[in-house]
A and B are shown apart, each in its own frame.
Chain A
Amino acid sequence: MTSRLKRKLGELGVDTSSNRANENFCLIGTPLPPLEKTKDINEFVPLWKQEVRDEKGRRRLHGAFTGGFSAGYFNSVGSKEGWTPSTFVSSKSDRAKKKASRPEDFMDEEDLQELRDSRKLVDMTEEMDLTGGTQAELQQRNAIVNDEKDSVANALEATLLPAPKDSAGARVLRKMGWKPGQGIGPRISYRERKLQDLQTTNKKMLTLAEVKVTEEEEEASKHTYPRRDTPVLLAERKDNFHGLGYIPKAGLLDSLARSNAETSIGPKLSAGFGLGALNDAEDDDIDIYDNGYNPGKSRLAYDISQPEDDAFTIHKSSRRQDAGTGRRPNAARAMFSSGLPVLPGFVISETPAVEDKWYPGPEVPKGWTPNPKRVWDADANKENIESGVRKSEPMPYHKWKTGMTADQRGELLGETPLPAAPRSVFEYMSQKDRERLQSVSVSIASGSIPTATPPEIRLPCIEPQIAQAALRGFQPFTSDLKKQERYTAYLMSQADPDSKPPDLLKPLPGQRIDEFNKELEDYSKAANIFKPMSGLMAGRFTSAVVMEQGPKIHEGLHTPSSEEIERKEAAEKREEEKISPQQHAAKLGMYGAMTREVRPWQPARLLCKRFGVKEPDLPLPDAEEASTKAKADADAGQSWQEQAGVSVSNSTETPAAMEGETSKKPDLNNIGLGEDDSQGRDTLTYQRPSMDIFKAIFASDLEDSDDDGDDDLRKDDEDDTKNGEEESQKDDMTSKLFPDTSLKMDEGASIDLNTFKPTFIPRDKKSKRAKDVDGDGDEKKGEDKKNGKKNKDKKDKKKRKKDKEKKGVLVSFEMEEDGVCGLAVSAAKPKKDRKSRNDDSAGGEDKDRPKKKKRKEKKREDGEDDGMWEAKTQTAATMSQLPPSEVPPPPPLLLRSSTSVSSENDVEQRAQEIETPARARKRAIDFM
């Protein structure tokens, strides 16, 4: 291999000895470990020996599958004795060194890491009270509320309940010196504090100077005080969906009424400028938002801290002034009359909200039922339904959605269409192009698809042959007879293109034209689909299950009408009439032959065995079963032999009846022919050479006429068959048939039979024939001969037997002689006869026998045994192709016999023939 490659490379001009050409890419063996040391100690250790160590070199995963018990010992505890506590320090001597052990002391790195990770700034688990001040404060407040609780209960509660927890902010404040109940901020002087008090109570802007400090308060002003606590505005969480400022469960009227009730004197007029004492209260001036405003209620932290914020609600009058001065009211400062601030970005409306007026609905007349249809149907276009669409059919949503373009809608609404730009590609195309496109699309649609609005009936065309085929093929609408009728009508009209469309092909009453067109279209499709397949394909497929067959099923509860019932009954009656004669007989009680039906039945072999019954020999019902059975049965051998014998005797030309068997079985005839039965047929059907040749050969030395020779041949045939018959002791009937067959054969024989028969013509017979011919008809002749021959045959037999016994050879041929009839053995027969006859009339008329023949026969008689000779002919017969050595060519002989068989109609006779030659055949084979 390599040498060849090298040579080739050398031819290519590559230096084969070069280092490059000899480079080896194969690695053999295990590579050595690299010289430099690696940290991985497990590198060359098999997997099961590898160890896992952590970064400190300690071994992890100790035994028992990654370390059970010992893991703790080696990894965390650290000593053999187990865990030891940190060294004990006596608190007596080294108190300062005493260290409380923390959980961290007992943690390893992993745990510590975990702890570190989990540590957060704010403890999420702790509940924070960010809004409600400290927990303690709350508790205090609760205590005030629950004053009536006696002290014991309180104490109990305090002890039982967990200690109040302050929020983180409160704790921080506490650490900064804050105490509950104080305000937040730096401490203030007494005066400042007083100002604060005043401000909260009076809601008036005061300056420090205005605050008077009395004498007795002198002392007090020497100290600083914590600030007053400013309660925080608790904005309630809004967890509903009401509008801002809406008070649930209180209508507008309620709130108004309440405000009215509060100001019982009259409508509360908005205070402020611009409203003189003499002015009547106008609608405008009524403060509609003022519903019981109590400034004391407002406890806002910022109320005081914002000095420029006026404590008054903003009134219209003041607003007017504002407007006049051009100063926009500050949104932040704007307040509702309730004291709530207006949200930033909102402005209080100038006109009061007016309630909607509600009117009672019209009285509904009694007995009125809603029927929206009436309204809709009043005007078809009301619902934007296209006129083309059927009204009964509701428009599907997607259609409705896509069906209305803006243009359409505009059109419906009566808008003048916009001078729209061209929307489709087609509009950019030239007219010509458009037309061409249209024609192309039409041709693609093959004309069977109707255009959008077909006003007239359009018969879709299908090709006549398809229509014809469909007529013969599957009928798809069998369940709907009317439809089927129309379908066939349509097909008929299409099958014959010249005919006018029949009357049936009109839309049904109540059927719209487009529906009808659809139906026709369906028909044409169905015809295309259900036309039977042609040619080869048709044979390969079976048609599918019938789709629309069977009774029509009515949906829902269906009460059959009287017509249907009648029809059913009629059908039943018809059914009854159709009962078989068997049933009829049974009905009449005529049991017996009429009701009995006997069939062959093959019990299973095992069953027979179990029942202890011999397996029945079933008569073969037909050839096929016979052949299959023959294969299986033990008897098959025999039957096979028989059949083989038959075909042998029949020679290669098989009669039609035998065709089945011969083709199925390995026939002896076919041996060597392969699968080709027709092989060698030419040799069999070859034309007999004209009589002259034979004459020239065989009858040269005689003055015999042509006729005589022919007669002889015929005669011979007759004799053969007759002999056979006689010997098998058939009745006269069959023998009577012979003249007919012989006649027939005469007609046919002149052509190709008996070709070389003359070889075996016995002279005496010929002479006899000559005698008979004079006076008698065929029949008589036959009978005569029969009689005469019987005697002769008997004698023959005897003689033969004697011979056999004497010679003691080939006993097997005895049978052949006895049972011999026509056909194959007939070749031997005449000779026998001939011989005997020869013996009988040694001299006499025998003189006119052809010398040549005599010579031949003599030779044979001299040299061979009779049987031997017969057998030879037999074998020659079977091997139809073999050129015979001493016998004149056998094929003609074969032919003769075969034709004789085929020409004979009598089955019985043939059956007999079938049997006997079989045996003969067997012997012949044995002999070979």
Chain B
Amino acid sequence: MTPSPLPRSLHVTLDAHKGPVNVARYSKGNAKYILTGGQDRTVRLWNTSTGAEIKVFAAHGYEILTLSVAHDNAKFVSAGGDRSVFLWDVATGTTVRRLSGHMGKVHAVEFNEDASVVASGSYDATVRLWDLRAQTRQAIQVLEEARDTVQSIHIGPATIVTGSVDGYVRTYDLRKGELRSDFIGHPVTSVVPTQDHQTYLVTTLDSHIRLMDMSTGKLLNDFSGHVNTAYRCRGCFGHAEATVICGDEKGMVWVWDLMDAKVLPPNPPPKNHYKVITWTEHHPTDANELITASADGTVKVWRNTENM
């Protein structure tokens, strides 16, 4: 089975952000909408198919570096330079809660599966786990194992996977009560596990993306060719986890075959943004859609016209 080709034709460009866009996330469910957060201190909600900007969420005082959407699309969290995590109500466009406690920029936030807990990873080298059910504003737990900025968090059903600039991917297993630290050796900017939580994809600042085995910590595949040495360029899986996609610092979107780690044509890929691509995310269900957010201030929605 050949992996489905990457959507390469530009469907719509979302360019309302002033300044770099740091993050773009699909909504949950059928993922019709995306949320983007940028340097202009706003979070914007878009319809990807029409390219319409639905809402602007403005309460942050600093740039937004990360977003996460709750499972029911009713809420989302955002965080960034203002060192606190904002929990938003999508419908009203107001912040429901502001969780402060971090000492530095917050680079990563993530909901757990039922949005009862938010994890936030920060420049202060901690991951804070916030309880959204209780009224307390104190973090449930602070994971202080990281020795540098926590750049990426993923929460599984019973695991919390964090990637830190100190070169470690740390898997906190709640069920086993153990912490597995995998040393990657290069600053980790994003960790994306597969759906089955057997492997995870690590993007590091040595221009490599590695597929690691979750249970043993072994290297399964190594994807390279792109340029990623300074910025957080999130790599992700393609449709059905058959490919690995990553937008690089030159504005190109690279695709590798998951199995043989070969760059899928075109090689080199066309330049899609004229600045670094900060976030790449494939549509969770639709094989024909991909979004890229870039420092050039645009978010582009890519679709595959042939298949449509």
Contact = CB atoms under 8 A, between A and B. Distances in A.
Interface string A600-631: 11111011101101111110000000000000
Interface in B80-133: 112, 116-117, 129, 131, 133
Contacts of A603: 141, 172, 174, 177
Nearest to B173: A601
A603 B142 CA distance: 10
Contacts of B167: 586
Contacts of A597: 180-183
Contacts of B133: 610
Contacts of B176: 616
B140 interface: yes
Residue in B134, B178, B184 with the greatest tally of chain A CB atoms within 10 Å: B178
B174 A616 contact: yes
Contact of A601 (B112, B179, B217): B179
A868 B38 CA distance: 80
Interface centre among B131, B158, B177, B184 (most CB of A within 10 A): B177
Given A589-B222, A591-B219, A583 B183 contact: yes
A238 interface: no
A855 interface: no
Contact of B178 (A586, A589, A592, A599): A599
B307 interface: no
B140 A607 contact: yes
Interface of A: 582-583, 585-587, 589-593, 595-604, 606-608, 610-611, 613-618
Interface string B61-92: 00000000000000000000000000000000
B183 A582 contact: yes
B217 A610 contact: no
Given A604-B140, A606-B131, A614-B175, A599 B218 contact: no
A718 B133 CA distance: 63
B216 A598 contact: no
B242 to A, nearest CB: 23
15 contacts: A582-B183, A583-B183, A589-B219, A589-B222, A591-B182, A592-B217, A595-B184, A597-B183, A598-B181, A600-B179, A601-B177, A603-B174, A607-B141, A611-B174, A613-B175
B185 interface: yes
Contacts of B177: 600-603, 615-618
B219 A596 contact: no
A384 B179 CA distance: 79
A473 to B, nearest CB: 32
A632 to B, nearest CB: 14
Contacts of A591: 182, 184, 210, 212, 217-219
Nearest to A606: B140
Given A601-B179, A604-B129, A613-B158, 12 more contacts: A583-B183, A585-B183, A586-B184, A589-B219, A592-B219, A593-B217, A595-B184, A600-B178, A603-B141, A611-B112, A611-B174, A616-B174
Nearest to B179: A601
B209 to A, nearest CB: 13
Interface in B141-184: 141, 157-158, 167, 172-184
Contacts of A595: 182-185, 217
Contacts of A608: 174
Contact of A596 (B112, B174, B216, B222): B216
**Which 6 pairs across A and B sit closest by C-beta, in order of nearness?**
A616-B177, A586-B185, A596-B217, A601-B179, A591-B219, A604-B141
Interface residues of B, number: 33
Contacts of B180: 596-598
B117 A586 contact: no
B168 to A, nearest CB: 9
A616 B176 CA distance: 6
Contacts of B219: 589-592
Contacts of B157: 611
A616 B178 CA distance: 9
A319 B140 CA distance: 115
Contacts of A602: 177
Contacts of A611: 112, 117, 157-158, 174
A607 B118 CA distance: 11
A610 B131 CA distance: 8
A602 B117 CA distance: 17
A589 B140 CA distance: 36
A606 B175 CA distance: 13
Contacts of B112: 610-611
Contacts of B183: 582-583, 585-586, 595-597
Q: Which of A590, A599, A615, A618 has the most CB of B within 10 A?
A: A599
Given A591-B219, A607-B117, A607-B140, A613 B178 contact: no
A405 B48 CA distance: 94
Contacts of B117: 607, 610-611
A598 B168 CA distance: 12
A213 B183 CA distance: 137
B7 to A, nearest CB: 32
A606 B131 CA distance: 9
Contacts of B158: 611, 613
B185 to A, nearest CB: 3
Contacts of A586: 167, 183-185
A585 B217 CA distance: 12
Contacts of B182: 591, 595-597
A732 to B, nearest CB: 36
A587 B204 CA distance: 13
Interface in B172-226: 172-185, 210, 212, 216-219, 222
Contacts of B181: 596-599
Interface in B216-251: 216-219, 222
A587 B134 CA distance: 45
A596 B129 CA distance: 24
A611 B140 CA distance: 12
A838 B212 CA distance: 70
- A591, A593, A608, A617: which has the most chain B beta carbons within 10 Å? A591
Nearest to A598: B180
A599 B179 CA distance: 5
B244 to A, nearest CB: 17
A66 B141 CA distance: 66
Contacts of A600: 177-179
A607 B160 CA distance: 11
Contacts of A613: 158, 174-175
Contacts of A615: 177
A564 B260 CA distance: 48
A595 B188 CA distance: 14
B172 A601 contact: yes
